[in-house]
Amino acid sequence: MGYNPTESIFGFSADLRREVVTMLDINMLRKTPDVVRENMKKKFQDAKLYLVDEVIELDVKNREAMQQADNLRNQRKVLSKQIGGLMKQGKKDEAEATKAQVAAIADELARLEVLEEQYAEEIKKRMQVIPQIIDDSVPIGKDDSENVEIERYGEPVVPDFEIPYHVEIMEKLAGIDIESARKTSGNGFYYLIGDVARLHSACLSYARDFMIDRGFTYCIPPYMIRSNVVTGVMSFAEMENMMYKIEDEDLYLIGTSEHSMIGKFIDTILTEDQLPQTLTSYSPCFRKEVGAHGIEERGVYRIHQFEKQEMIVVCKPEDSMKWYNQLWQNTVDFFRSLDIPVRTLECCSGDLADLKVKSCDVEAWSPRQKKYFEVGSCSTLGDAQARRLGIRVKGDDGRKYFAHTLNNTCVAPPRMLIAFLENNLNADGSVRIPEALRPYMGFKDVIKPVEKK
């Protein structure tokens, strides 16, 4: 018998409190382990294959312990009733013997309950790093070098004058001070100043209103979240490389407002008429940026601190792909409204984080580099986050199931500013302000270079 994705642990209320809820439904490993193994191979995670057998073995032992414990509880219940009857009949010796049996059962139950907890913890450790099942449409590839271009929007233009490095553009506009930030905070920080700082805020304000006009509810979330939310929304590898921990507190600085926004629904049961939840959120973001890319010492492309306008959706499973396509299209439309050419890039299997079912990047054109670079990422995570966080939906028939969650970047300056400045730069060093952004810039149509004093 194959795995039925509609068969949830919520169909088995007696076992709900003892089931291990992780990224994947454990029924998949019980019924179709080869599907899980094949998915690992598609993601080039062959080194994890042994985990499937280990989980299956531990799960068998755990269920055996649970069954033994249930049998003992039933025995204890029967024997406990007998004790009173024996005492009434004056059969004190038999009653004492029965009490001894009940005490022995209690000791064995205590042992089994500890064993259950140990098995459940070992299963959870392994299940937390077994990747989500990717969508059939995801191209197979080892890393981001094998991502696949889907479509281009707008004509990439290389002007007949030289485009300086983005920091040089900002400096000519008297808009950035990296050296002072290095003194106060170290590498990976910056001061934005004057019209460039205003442009930064204008892009965020415009993105906020852009998403509100598309029917999303605006939200400003907490900028710190607890560890159970962190482990609910992202993989351990991402957490290690991204998150800043607050010393002596169970709090982390968010790397993106998606973390807070999805966490908002932790341990909730939504009714179908409450779906979809469509939210757009502003937040600062804080990232270690540990890994191969590292921190830029001179530029603002890869930094420790930035701000972002995000969008998230919580929906019914059958609607997640529709929302996925709508979310990335929102980002494309936003950048095109600012006259920035973009393309969409389908992330291949090896480039997907473990929780993701499908993902695409929106990349903006860089006239200076004569290539595209990432400015946003859209993902559907299926029910992975919902499983970890307990985000459930109650259907009209009373059946409970896990929601699907999605997220996407609308805009993340200052990275987005690089694309904006390069694509709107004039030969004299001034920067054109597209019409859509002018109301947020005091109706300026151009930012002019500032002469040094």
SS (H, E, C) 227-267: HHHHHHHCCHHHHHHHCEECCCCCCEECCCHHHHHHHCCCC
Q: CB of 285 within 8 A of CB of 255?
A: yes
pLDDT at 45 over 50: yes
| Burial category of 129 from C-beta neighbours within 10 Å (exposed 0-12, middle 13-18, buried 19 and up) | middle
pLDDT of residue 15: 37
Chain centroid to CA 387: 13
Residue 159 phi, psi (nearest 5): -70, 170
**Whole-number Å distance between alpha carbons of 170 and 204:** 18
Q: CB of 211 within 8 A of CB of 410?
A: yes
pLDDT of residue 11: 30
Across 261-278, average pLDDT: 97
Query: Tens digits of per-residue pLDDT, 404-447?
Result: 999 999 999 888 999 999 999 999 999 999 999 999 999 999 99
Chain centroid to CA 134: 15
Residues 6+ apart with CB under 8 A from 214: 330
**Whole-number Å distance between alpha carbons of 279 and 212:** 9
Residues 6+ apart with CB under 8 A from 267: 389, 390, 391
Query: Tens digits of per-residue pLDDT, 160-177?
Result: 999 999 999 999 999 999
pLDDT at 43 over 50: yes
The correct answer on CATH 3.30.930.10 for the domain covering 144-447 is yes
Query: Tens digits of per-residue pLDDT, 371-396?
Result: 999 999 999 999 999 999 999 999 99
pLDDT of residue 444: 96
- What is the number of alpha carbons within 13 Å of residue 60 lying toward its C-beta? 7
Closest among 56, 16, 123, 4 to 390, alpha carbons compared: 16
pLDDT at 38 over 70: yes
Across 8-27, average pLDDT: 50
Question: Number of helices and strands (H, E) in the chain?
Answer: 13, 18
Q: How many CB atoms lie within 10 A of CB 89?
A: 10
pLDDT at 5 over 50: no
Q: CB of 255 within 8 A of CB of 308?
A: no
| CATH superfamily assigned to domain 9-127 | Serine-tRNA synthetase, tRNA binding domain (1.10.287.40)
pLDDT of residue 294: 58
Query: Tens digits of per-residue pLDDT, 194-232?
Result: 999 999 999 999 999 999 999 999 999 999 999 999 989
pLDDT of residue 291: 55
**Whole-number Å distance between alpha carbons of 315 and 406:** 8
Whether the link from the prior residue into 367 is cis, omega within 30° of 0, is no
Q: Which residue has the tokens 């926004």?
A: 261
| Extents of the domains making up the chain | 9-127, 144-447
Confidence class of residue 126 from pLDDT cuts 50, 70 and 90?
A: very high
Confidence class of residue 290 from pLDDT cuts 50, 70 and 90?
A: low
- What is the number of alpha carbons within 13 Å of residue 57 lying toward its C-beta? 7
Query: Tens digits of per-residue pLDDT, 421-430?
Result: 999 999 999 9
Query: Tens digits of per-residue pLDDT, 345-371?
Result: 999 999 999 999 999 999 999 999 999
pTM: 0.87
Reading the block at residue 69, the tokens are 């414990």
